[in-house]
Structure 1
Amino acid sequence: MKPTVNRALKATVKATVIAATFGMLAAGSAQAQSSVSLYGQVDEWVGATKFPGSDRAWNVSGGGMSTSYWGLKGAEDLGNGYKAIFTLESFFRAQNGQYGRFTGDTFFARNAYVGIQAPYGTFTAGRLTTQLFVSTILFNPFIDSYVFSPMVYHVFLGQGTFPTYTTDQGVVGDSGWNNSVQYTTPDFSGLSGSAMYSFGNQAGDGRSKKYSAQFLYFHGPFAATGVYQYVNYNNTPGDLSTLVAGYKSQSVAQAGASYDLKYVKFFLQYMYTKNDIETGSFHVNTGQGGVTVPVGPGTVMASYAYSRSNGGLDQTHKSWAVGYDYPLSKRTDVYAAYLNDKYTSISSGNTYGVGLRAKF
């Protein structure tokens, strides 16, 4: 019986080895064709904040230069130039360990989508970063800082998003849209375009919608963008009237450009905002100019933004900021910055502090 048992044992071992070998090969092949990565950043700063018309608050807070977030993204090669992709990204506040940019924020508020990359473009669906946000942050020296960037203040703080003071300036809606689909073209020698549509997702109401279109151009030291955005609701269909009585819709057009001379980089932006209201529409003109200058291993940043409304509250909004960002490594930097913010008939506000940002 022993020879029979030995032959059976050898056959079993051989089969196991073959199966394991093919399993490892298959796993290696799958790994080569698909990937998932974890990434993000933690940004904390210490300083003082005084919003226009308010008292000063000393604080340890998050997102001085960039809002803290973590994310997961993956791609699977489907062959013939096609890939399935997904992204899930969540903001958080390291100062108190809570998720979101504020209490009540959506968990995956930064991005949450699935899509297909194809030779003729990329299609995505879910919660998507708006094209207006992309153009805004790429063409101002302080990029996506909700604490120190004058242009971010003028575009995204107001119209129901900032309760500290009263203003009818700013853009309706978040930096991300729910229930959205987007198409992005391939890159044509530095030129690309995209279009996005957001559904109201309310039965019997096909009128509630948001849509936008954008182009981006990068060629050597020069870059430019143009974007148009239309909305007729903020978070839920029909809710614009909670911001302003009779508010029907808002249209926004923004253009931006930058030019890098190596020893100084120039930024320029212009935005026209039209608010349609039953009792009388009004518009807001916004402009921003700024520079970044390499100084030692770091970068000096300076920016000035100006907005003027021709109706509504008839406000002028002026903001300027200076800062210095110093890299400790490729993934970690420290910074110091100061922002001054002023509205018509409201006492000036200012924010200053130092911070640390670590990327992973």
Structure 2
Amino acid sequence: MNKTILWSVLALAPQLAWAQTGAGHPGAGHPGAGQPGVSVYGVVDMALSSYRGEGAGSRHMVTSSGNQASRLGFKGRESLGDRLWAGFELESGLNTDTGTGQASNTNNQASGAVNPNGAITFNRKSYVYLEGQDWGQLRLGRDYTPAFWNLFAFDPFRVGVGMSGHVLNGTTATGFRASNSVGYFSPGCTTFQCKGLFFQGMLAAGENTGSDATKRDGNLYAWRLGYGGADFDIAVASATTKNAAVGDFVQSNIGGAYQWQGHRLMALVGQNKTRIPVAALSGTSRGSFWQLGAWISVGPGYIPVSYMQLQRNDAADSAARKLAVGYVHPLSKRTTLYGTYAHVTNRGALRLPVSSGAEQGPVPVLGGNASGFDLGIRHVF
């Protein structure tokens, strides 16, 4: 079976590569946001990590991005008058433990993966935009998909060993971001944090040639609709990535949060599916999940905690559960210490490690457990 199938099914696969994502603390936003002109911003986040997989031993590492994704970014904004603005953002994901850059993708398919010997790529963001105060913002380039934002906004960890995204995301090519995209944000809404009624939409192209059945592979259309109130948020989202081999991949989710006195309670429910069952993955065509999480304010810091369950419809009735808990302690506005512990329980044909990607933990045996921790420091500039 074509290897692209293995990259096109959710967290239904035994192993998943994932691109690391955004901030990991209450109210974190984007470093450098709101500054006029051109600015440079970034995050350097490093941790001592130890991961274990049942039947596969343990792995001890210095890792990058345990609390926020390490990155280097450039952004600019210019007023055009008459309540119009133009701007750009270029953001590169960094493996700060080795000083290398992270992979990007040229066509939203496995065949488009590119990382030239660890050189810097602007894999996280690479877009130009035009914005009007009355009609919103239009973006062209590489950006986060609307359906990803719920996985980010309503996960207490977002990155690191506690993150659930490596279990819940969609295709490895478009589960977080899409290249060759046209995106729209309604007025006053340019990130995942929006107030009032808002809408986000995206179209992206695989840019294939030819006229066969795979010509549309890598094309994506996605949307997110929600409401942000004074003390609560709710949003529903969906994304479809064309893939002839699996009958397309559809990622859908709904999430919400309620905050009070420095605390935040989060919930997320979703489903990822293909129209054609994948024989190489025990006939899987659907994975359903739910997650509950919270930020519990404790003095100057907070405790993130989450519990997730995933169920897929294969012949082995495979399932996974993940429990994570941590503590985040700010030393200043820019520097933070943190620790996170997570445990994954697999059943059936699943063998998810406790973390994934280039610094993943050992992959356990079928139905085996996995666990691990991060102890780290984060500095924002």
With normalisation by structure 2, the TM-score equals 0.74
SS of 2:320's equivalent in the other structure is strand
Deviations 1:69-96 (A, max 9, x none): 0100101111111111111000111111
Between the aligned partners of 2:81 and 2:50, the Cα distance in structure 1 is 53
Aligned-residue offset at 1:278: 6.2
Deviations 1:332-358 (A, max 9, x none): 110011010122142211111210011
| 2:15 corresponds to | none
| 1:301 corresponds to | 304
Alignment check: 8 A CA contact 1:34 1:77 kept = no
Alignment check: 8 A CA contact 2:160 2:374 kept = no
SS of 2:344's equivalent in the other structure is strand
Tell whether 2:195 aligns with 1:196. Answer: no
C-alpha change, 1:96 and 1:136, in structure 2 (3 Å) is same
Amino acid at match of 1:154: V
Between the aligned partners of 2:233 and 2:255, the Cα distance in structure 1 is 8
| 2:378 corresponds to | 357
Alignment check: 8 A CA contact 1:231 1:251 kept = yes
Amino acid at match of 2:165: V
Aligned-residue offset at 1:130: 1.4
Amino acid at match of 1:84: A
Tell whether 2:151 aligns with 1:152. Answer: no
| 2:362 corresponds to | none
| 1:259 corresponds to | 258
| 2:174 corresponds to | 173
Between the aligned partners of 2:328 and 2:103, the Cα distance in structure 1 is 23
Q: How many residues align?
A: 303
Amino acid at match of 2:342: L
| 2:52 corresponds to | 50
| Selected match of 2:101 from 99, 103, 111 | 99
Alignment check: 8 A CA contact 1:54 1:349 kept = no
Alignment check: 8 A CA contact 2:306 2:324 kept = yes
| 1:283 corresponds to | 286
| 1:27 corresponds to | none
Between the aligned partners of 2:94 and 2:59, the Cα distance in structure 1 is 21
SS of 2:57's equivalent in the other structure is coil
Alignment check: 8 A CA contact 1:282 1:312 kept = no
Alignment check: 8 A CA contact 1:324 1:337 kept = yes
Aligned-residue offset at 1:264: 3.3
Between the aligned partners of 2:53 and 2:91, the Cα distance in structure 1 is 29
Tell whether 2:145 aligns with 1:130. Answer: yes
Kindly report the root-mean-square deviation, in angstroms, between the aligned alpha carbons of the 2 structures: 2.4
Alignment check: 8 A CA contact 2:161 2:341 kept = no
Tell whether 2:76 aligns with 1:74. Answer: yes
Between the aligned partners of 1:193 and 1:326, the Cα distance in structure 2 is 34
Alignment of 1:245-256 (within 5 A): 246-256=245-255
C-alpha change, 1:42 and 1:101, in structure 2 (3 Å) is farther
| Selected match of 1:220 from 230, 237, 256 | 230
Amino acid at match of 1:181: V
Amino acid at match of 1:190: G
**Structure 2: stretches of 5+ with no match in the other structure:** 1-34, 105-113, 190-194, 348-365
| 1:109 corresponds to | 123
Alignment check: 8 A CA contact 2:277 2:285 kept = no
Aligned-residue offset at 1:227: 0.5
Alignment check: 8 A CA contact 1:146 1:153 kept = no
Amino acid at match of 1:287: W
Between the aligned partners of 1:312 and 1:173, the Cα distance in structure 2 is 27
Between the aligned partners of 2:55 and 2:127, the Cα distance in structure 1 is 39
Alignment check: 8 A CA contact 1:139 1:269 kept = yes
| Selected match of 1:336 from 332, 336, 339 | 339
| Selected match of 2:216 from 207, 211, 215 | 207
Amino acid at match of 1:194: Q
Between the aligned partners of 1:53 and 1:193, the Cα distance in structure 2 is 46
Deviations 1:218-256 (A, max 9, x none): 2111111110010124xxxx6xxxxxxx42211111000
Alignment check: 8 A CA contact 2:103 2:121 kept = no
Between the aligned partners of 2:315 and 2:185, the Cα distance in structure 1 is 36
When you count helix as a share of all residues, which structure comes out higher? Answer: 1
Alignment check: 8 A CA contact 1:325 1:335 kept = yes
Alignment check: 8 A CA contact 1:65 1:148 kept = no
C-alpha change, 1:34 and 1:43, in structure 2 (3 Å) is closer
Between the aligned partners of 2:45 and 2:103, the Cα distance in structure 1 is 12
SS of 1:56's equivalent in the other structure is strand
Between the aligned partners of 2:271 and 2:101, the Cα distance in structure 1 is 34
Amino acid at match of 1:329: S
| 1:14 corresponds to | none
